[in-house]
Amino acid sequence: MRILVAGGTGVLGTRVVELLRARGDEVSVLTRREGVAGGVSGDLATGAGLDAACVGAEAVIHLATATTPAGWREVDVDGTRRLAEAATRQHVAHFLYISILGVDRIPFAYYRAKAEGEQEVLRAGVPWTVLRLGQFHELLDSLLRVVAAVPVAFVPRGLAVQPLAAADAARVVVDTLDAGPRGRFVGAGGPQILTAKDAAEQWLAARRAAGGRGGAVVELPLPGALMRAFRAGHNLMPASMQPGTAFGDWARERFAAGTGPAYRR
């Protein structure tokens, strides 16, 4: 299959591209940079090169996202519209858009941008699937490295997460691609639901087992609509649990290997 991947150099995208190429698919990676293996020039922020990048593609997997608030509208909303419309003009058979569990119910600016991006896909007229994923172990790890930089790690009370490893998420992406365009939203979360306190304690235990320091975890009640949405579990989808590596096991493997954070600030 000939597949165009937008966001193919990110934490999830690199793993998706590896899986697709390993099984023999012809994969192009949309990029603005030189030197990307299989890269084709295209810019979501301007639309430059998108039609040419979609020529001959049987499927487009859109994983790209902006890394700063300034780019959320430009890339995640308008850029998604540009790519979906280019895919429509080039008669792409399946446009797979990767989103996040809870984007339509959690009042966070980034989530709102992702939800708007979903609607742009629907409006474009291309055969589509929207896959909403839980947050990745890699993101939790990066956040906890900040929170646990002091002896007492403070986490929100009542917040639960359903994380999955990026490698497991990549397999879900490929399976969803293979299922063909569904014209509907599909959810996929990790193999367990953890409170923020449980996740932090498991992460600290993994760090301690690798020779690092431990620490205490204290829950704090946080006000506001955003936290109410998380406490209501709008970021969770218990029925969508995917098989894969549990967060504590993943963290132990990560620390044992001496691997640094996947997301850097």
pLDDT in tens, 115-142: 999 999 999 999 999 999 999 999 999 9
Residues 83 and 50: beta-carbon distance below 8 Å: yes
Single-letter code of the amino acid located at 170: A
Looking at residue 15, what is its pLDDT?
Answer: 98
Q: What percent of the chain has pLDDT over 70?
A: 99
Looking at residue 124, what is its pLDDT?
Answer: 98
Residue 12 burial (CB count, 10 A): 23
- Assign 3-class secondary structure to 155-207: EECCCEECCECHHHHHHHHHHHHHCCCCCCEEEEECCCCEEHHHHHHHHHHHH
Low-confidence ranges of the chain (pLDDT < 50): none
- Supply φ then ψ for residue 145, to 5 degrees: -65, -25
Looking at residue 212, what is its pLDDT?
Answer: 94
Looking at residue 49, what is its pLDDT?
Answer: 97
CA nearest to 16, candidates 162, 138, 7: 7
**Rounded to a whole number, what is the distance in angstroms from the first to the last CA of the chain?**
36
Residues 204 and 211: beta-carbon distance below 8 Å: no
The SS3 call for residue 153 is: strand
The SS3 call for residue 184 is: coil
Looking at residue 265, what is its pLDDT?
Answer: 54
User: What tokens does 108 get?
Assistant: 């966070």
Q: For 186-219, write each residue's pLDDT tens digit.
A: 999 999 999 999 999 999 999 999 999 999 999 9
Rounded Cα distance, 113 and 133, in Å: 15
Question: How long is the chain?
Answer: 265
Looking at residue 33, what is its pLDDT?
Answer: 87
Residues 182 and 129: beta-carbon distance below 8 Å: yes
The helix-helix angle for 11-22 and 166-178 (nearest 10°) equals 50
How many CA atoms lie within 13 Å of 194's alpha carbon, on the beta-carbon side? Answer: 23
H-helix or E-strand containing 6? strand 2-6
Give bridge partners of residue 154 from the DSSP assignment.
Answer: 218
Residues 10 and 68: beta-carbon distance below 8 Å: no
DSSP secondary structure string, 214-262?
--EEEEE---SHHHHHHHTTTT--GGGB--S--HHHHHHHHHHHT---S
How many CA atoms lie within 13 Å of 234's alpha carbon, on the beta-carbon side? Answer: 16
Cβ-based neighbours of 48, under 8 Å, separated by 6 or more: 41, 42
Helix, strand, coil percent content, the chain, rounded in steps of 5: 45, 20, 35
